[in-house]
Homo-oligomer: A and B are copies of this chain.
Amino acid sequence: MTKTLAIDCMGGDYGPSVIIPAALKALEIHSDITIYLVGHQEQVKKQVSQFNPQAFDIFGDRLRIQHASEVIAMDEKPSQAIRNKSDSSMRVSLQLVCDNVADACVSAGNTGALMALATILVGTLPGVERPAIVAELPNKKNTVTHMLDLGANIDASAEQLTSFAMMGHVMCQAVDGKDNPKVALLNIGEEQSKGRDSIKLAGDILSKQAEINYVGYVEANQIFNGDVDVIVCDGFTGNNVLKACEGITRFLYDQLKVEFTRNWRSKLIAAMVKPVLKSFQKRINPDQYNGASLLGLREIVIKSHGSADIKATLCAINKAISEIERQVPQEIQNKVSHLVLPVEH
């Protein structure tokens, strides 16, 4: 089966100059995919021929351009972007998925606008009130931990946290093939009495669900332990936690470089240590985890990091391909509808 991707070429900090080479690379690697490059036709064509003048000859019908005359800026207010820009590259990309022309959409654009437009155009699955952004984080046990929500929702009610937990549970089953993934709520203490009321209530609801292996609260210092498979929180907290981790990783790496340039002796050692550090950097490089799913939508929508480079963008595209193969939204629909909870309002 051919997998078709709609790629928003105009989003992110670097736009087509990074996204188009990543898309061409994906076409080269995966012979069974077709890509719609969505964006301003002239700009897209120019960038394609700049990176590979033979691209259209090589990939033929697998490489297509879908014109979109507008671009949603990274700092544009989502409500304004939705109202005023009916032909944005982001909207056109999502529309290709809605129209069943594409199987998945990838965008590095304005997260708020992507979330709002996807919810309006693609729609959420039955039983899902709000989508959540989920990403895979590395851990000590060399597996991955799925964490959500990472910024789709500023706040989350107990019901929403519960629904995130169920979606994470299904995601982990589908992607990692784990039968009974461990699901936890992020909180500022492990004791049942701690934290926000919404979290305590979500914990109560989840602990009554036989289908979900709810293991209680985890604190943020345990995220990278690998003791649980799914960690659930509101989007404000998740986004801050993720960005703080990015920030301190860069800080620590810089500090390590400072140590290695402190004196002639450490500089000498640095020369020898280079391959080890390179391997370390490769291992901790957040790029390899780029590509966050907007979980709970009827179709596959992948958010690439705004500052993603070519390699990282390729990871987001690969993530989309893998979700098409695993039919993640269908899996969620099948299992979440089964799990739907009688929530009292």
Pairwise interchain contact B245-A248, C-beta atoms closer than 8 A? yes
Chain B hits for A191, CB < 8 A: 75, 77
A194 to B240, CA, bound (A): 13
A255 to B194, CA, bound (A): 32
Pairwise interchain contact B239-A241, C-beta atoms closer than 8 A? no
Chain B hits for A190, CB < 8 A: 75
Most chain B CB within a 10 A radius of its CB, from A219, A233, A236: A236
CB of A43 within 8 A of chain B?
Answer: no
CB of A279 within 8 A of chain B?
Answer: yes
Q: Which residue of B lies closest to A154 (CB)?
A: B196
Known contacts A196-B154, A220-B241, A221-B246: does B280 contact A276 (CB below 8 Å)?
no
Pairwise interchain contact B188-A240, C-beta atoms closer than 8 A? yes
Contact pattern, A 273-290, Cβ under 8 Å of B = 1, otherwise 0: 101110110011000000
Pairwise interchain contact A248-B224, C-beta atoms closer than 8 A? yes
Contact pattern, A 139-153, Cβ under 8 Å of B = 1, otherwise 0: 110000000000100
Tell me how many residues of A have a C-beta within 8 Å of chain B.
61
Pairwise interchain contact A255-B269, C-beta atoms closer than 8 A? no
Chain B hits for A193, CB < 8 A: 77
CB of A186 within 8 A of chain B?
Answer: yes
CB of A95 within 8 A of chain B?
Answer: no
Contact pattern, A 178-192, Cβ under 8 Å of B = 1, otherwise 0: 000000001011110
Contact pattern, A 245-279, Cβ under 8 Å of B = 1, otherwise 0: 11111111011101110100010010011011101
A contacts, CB < 8 Å to B: 75, 77, 112, 138-140, 151, 154-155, 186, 188-191, 193-196, 219-225, 233, 235-237, 239-252, 254-256, 258-260, 262, 266, 269, 272-273, 275-277, 279-280, 283-284
